[in-house]
Amino acid sequence: MSRRGGYTTMTPTEITATRKLADGRQMPVMGFGTYLLNDQPTMNTAIQTAWDAGYRMFDTAMLYRNEDILGPAIQQLGLPREGLFLTSKVAEIVQGYDQTMKAVEGSLKRLQTDYLDLLLIHWPVREHFFDTWRALEQLKADGQVKSIGVSNYTIAHLELLATKAKEMPVVNQVEYHPYLNQQALADYDQEHDIVTEAWSPLGRRVVLDDPMLAKMAAHHNKSVAQVILRWELQHQLVTIPKSTHPERIQENANIFDFSLDIDEMTMIDLLNKNERTGNEPEIVYETGKQY
């Protein structure tokens, strides 16, 4: 259901549910973000806890510098590769056709796998804009990547990419939370058969401390984080919360036993302030680096 056409309570009833991508593959509706997990024991505990809670998608990136501990965590814990959905992202500093091809080879080695389920361009960079995407198309053709997408792309970036791309991204991972809901971008993605995936889905502490969200959470006997994640699912987004705390990892997964009504969805939508916690995509596009 379109965001503009209303909201839906027809959301998945379990964490292992999937969304169908434009390329025909299935992507879990909820994944586990690994940003800031930077030592092996913490990673092992987090991945085991997430797996036990039902997470089957794990999101990393070259810039996180933890692919080399995520791979061993999966191996050491005996998790089946075919039952996992692994995502990584191409950093700005290794964009361009040849550099991207080489960088992904390194990611596969660090992750101890021979393919990625999803590879994203982490940020758009003007200098290497088309060549980097061409590399992703080739990596998919070679079987090293199953699905390809982008991250932090605006509508303008997607429209520019469409002028030369042989195939379009199936996912656009962007910052998305109650204080930055990017409705126009999410609508555009949906209209062009691109799944919007939310990074920083809970925003910062100020979002979690919002008094209206606190009241709504109390009404449902849920945490504010659970209400926010449920709101995102009912907007048909894929979401990837992160945490280093086992109890929070489990809590974030427990959002499939309640729903928000239309009024509640609207109230959360109205919290939007267009406040980013991360970089402005257009600045990264022009400068080629985060700031």
Annotated binding-site members for substrate = 122
The runs of H, that is alpha helices, within the chain are 40-53, 67-76, 97-111, 129-142, 155-161, 183-191, 205-208, 211-220, 224-234, 246-253, 262-269, 281-287
Backbone torsions φ then ψ of 6, nearest 5 degrees:
125, -170
Map residue 150 onto helix, strand or coil: strand
Count of beta carbons in the 10 Å neighbourhood of residue 1? 13
* CB count in 10 Å sphere of residue 34: 26
3-state secondary structure of 184: helix
What residue numbers does the annotated binding site cover?
A: 122
d(C-alpha 117, C-alpha 27), whole Å: 9
Which amino acid does the sequence have at 48?
A: Q
φ, ψ for residue 118, nearest 5 deg: -145, 130
Active site residue 291: no
- Count Cβ neighbours within 10 Å for each residue of 240-267 and write b for 16 or more, e otherwise: bbbbbeeebbbbbbebbeebbeeebbeb
User: Residue 138: beta bridge partners?
Assistant: none
Which residue's structure tokens are 């928000």?
260
Number of residues that this document lists for the chain? 291
Q: Are the C-beta atoms of residues 68 and 43 closer than 8 Å to each other?
A: no
Indicate which residue of 7, 35, 55, 64 is catalytic. Answer: 64
Active site residues: 64
